[in-house]
Amino acid sequence: MNDWKRLSFLPQKELRDLQNRKLRHFISYQLYPFSTYYRNLFDTHKIKPRYIRTVEDLRIIPFTKKDDFLSTKENPSRFLDFILKPDEASLKKYLPKNKLLSLALAKALKGKEYVKGRLEKEYRPIFLTATTGTTDQPVSFLYTNYDIENLKISGYRLLDVFGAGKDVRAVNLFPYAPHLAFWQTVLAGFAYNAFLLSTGGGKVMGTQGNIDSILKVKPNMIIGVPSYLYHLVRCARVSAKNFGFLQKVILGASAVPSGFKEKLSQMLAEMGAEQVYIFGTYGFTEAKSAWGECPTPINVSSGYHTYPDKEIFEIIDPETGEVKKEGEDGELVYTSLDARGSAVVRYRTGDLVKGGMLYSPCPYCKRTVPRISSGIYRAFNIKNLQLSKVKGTLVNLNSFSTILEAEKGIEEWQVEIRKKDNDPYEVDEVLIYISVAGGYDSRKLTEELRHKILSATEVTPNEIIVLPHDEMLTRVEMEISHKVKRLVDKRPK
């Protein structure tokens, strides 16, 4: 793990040279030889592995999209084509000579079974995480022992970027599931030699059980989904619990607007935790990794610090596919440099990044690794709404989230899109459900909210409906769903 200290402060040119070397090696000796999907893709487009020499050469490789993993009648297990699956013949044909020599020597000294076990540790899938179903079909991504070690490495690096000390006591509130966020957190604790209690979130222990565990452990770090962690803190505050032991809050699995950080920070300060750092993280199943922000003032984001020896990121124009320059907005594209199991190259994440990639040293921690701007939002949350009989309107529902998460008078919220009178031929309607914090005037709050939303989205909600807090918790499925239901589209598919 110690190489991270040196790597994260290398000059930009050395980092790019490292990426070029690792890219050439990965394409030539792992991806093309052992991936059914990418070997077919390269052959179809007449791309030779030797054509890929630098990061800039990635442009000749077609993009990979979410749909490429989905089952078809002809190939019901299509996602398996992305797994690196060497056999004896392909290993002999494609592995570098020094590695073949090493295996031959190991076979002579320790026997055939030892070599077989060594290769199985590198290539045999033993674990999976899955997407949470933004497409109709969740997709599984498989890990080998090699990938598990990489997940530990990224976990260690995450905690280092957060500025975690040696005496980490953490409570992991992510839901127990085959999802990246939970397992990245668990393995980060192992790699960092940190005490970590994983409760499984609200669905396993209930909110009161989680609060009781936190008060017993007195962690200096809490990790979880923003919506559930906010709900837990609110419940603890109502019960006058003291969280003065808390120093860091790590949020993952959804976007974290600066306004939400400020609202959560204020609540924690009222509970005795007056100097708390709140960090956002970014990760996705297909990368088998996550990245984090370094310590900054509460209303500032440093961006997500990446691992240039493990991946390459590009920002592209989502319409043309053209690669954008540093700091320019666009869609994030991911290429692995060190995966086994399921591996992807030029994978379109569907995530749009305002501010793109940053390559200058971080102004806060001085690390030189590339950073992803924290202004990330999901492309699938940009909806085409038929708000009049005349024409459709593209509406960015991410803007609703940013406003509603930051509003101090709102405890819970949900945006619903439906057809007027449930008639599929009628216009679309946008309804917003909220519960209001004590001490706030509901009528004044809804009126202010209507103006803010109109200003940000050029859309006026048809209704803003105030509901009791308990009813809102049921509506958003706070303690029974892996992902809280914030944006709900009830229009006929």
Residue-range definition of the domain harbouring residue 412: 386-489
Write the CB contacts of 196 (distance below 8 Å, at least 6 apart in sequence): 168, 170, 171, 172, 185, 186, 188, 189
Domain count, the chain: 1
User: pLDDT band for position 427 (50/70/90)?
Assistant: confident
Q: pLDDT tier at 135 (50, 70, 90 boundaries)?
A: very low
Domain membership flag for residue 413: yes
Express as a percent the part of the chain with pLDDT over 70: 97
CB 313 within 8 A of CB 282: no
Point out the least confidently predicted range of 111-125, 183-197, 343-357.
111-125
Specify burial of residue 3 (Cβ count, 10 A radius: 0-12, 13-18, 19+): exposed
The residue-averaged pLDDT of 248-258 equals 86
- DSSP letters, 150-178, are HHHHHHHHHHHHTT--SS-EEEE-SPSSS
Residue 390 lies in a domain: yes
The reply to whether 3 falls in a domain is no
**Res 132: pLDDT:** 67
The whole-number average pLDDT for the span 403-412 is 87
Render pLDDT for 317-346 as a digit per residue (tens, 0 to 9).
999 999 999 999 999 999 999 999 999 999
Query: What is the three-class DSSP state of 428?
Result: strand
Q: Residue 488 above 90 pLDDT?
A: no
pLDDT at 483: 76
Three-state SS at 112: helix
Least confident range of 110-114, 252-256, 272-276: 252-256
More confident residue, 210 or 132: 210
Confirm whether 443 is domain-assigned. Answer: yes
**Residue 136 predicted with pLDDT over 70:** no
What value does the mean pLDDT of the chain take? 90
Q: Is residue 43 part of a domain?
A: no
Cα separation, 479 vs 224, in Å, equals 13
| Tokens describing residue 228 | 């559930």
Tokens of 23: 């890219």
> Which pLDDT band, with edges at 50, 70 and 90, does 389 fall under?
low
What is the pLDDT at residue 1? 63
The CA-based diameter of the chain, rounded to the nearest angstrom, is 80
Indicate the pLDDT class of residue 122, thresholds 50, 70 and 90: very high
Which range is most confident: 20-24, 375-379, 396-400, 462-466? Answer: 20-24
Task: Give the model's pLDDT for residue 379.
Answer: 75
Burial class (CB in 10 A: 0-12, 13-18, 19+), 283: buried
Spatial separation of the C-alpha atoms in residues 419 and 326, rounded to whole Å: 41
DSSP character string of 11-63: -HHHHHHHHHHHHHHHIIIIIHHHBHHHHHHHHHTT--GGG--SGGGGGGSPP
Q: Is the pLDDT of residue 485 over 90?
A: no
Q: Which residue has the tokens 């088998």?
A: 288
Average of per-residue pLDDT across 277-282: 94
* Gap between the Cα atoms of 338 and 318, Å rounded: 26
> What mean pLDDT comes out for the span 39-54?
96
Rounded to 10 degrees, the C-alpha dihedral 337/339/342/347 comes to -20
Q: What is the CATH number of the domain that holds 397?
A: 3.30.300.30
Within the chain, how many helices (H) and strands (E) appear?
15, 21
**Measured in Å, how far apart are the chain's first and last C-alpha atoms?**
48
Torsion of CA 52, 54, 59, 62, to 10 degrees: 40
For residue 482, being part of any structural domain is answered with yes
The DSSP bridge pattern shows strands 140-144 and 169-172 to be unpaired
Q: In angstroms, what is the C-alpha Rg of the chain?
A: 24
Identity of residue 460: T
Handedness of CA 207, 208, 209, 214 (dihedral sign): positive
pTM of the model: 0.89
d(CA 233, CA 425): 43
290 is a domain residue: no
Highest mean pLDDT: which range of 153-162, 379-388, 429-438: 153-162
Residue 278 β-bridge partners: 249
* Structural domain includes residue 453: yes
d(CA 429, CA 308): 45
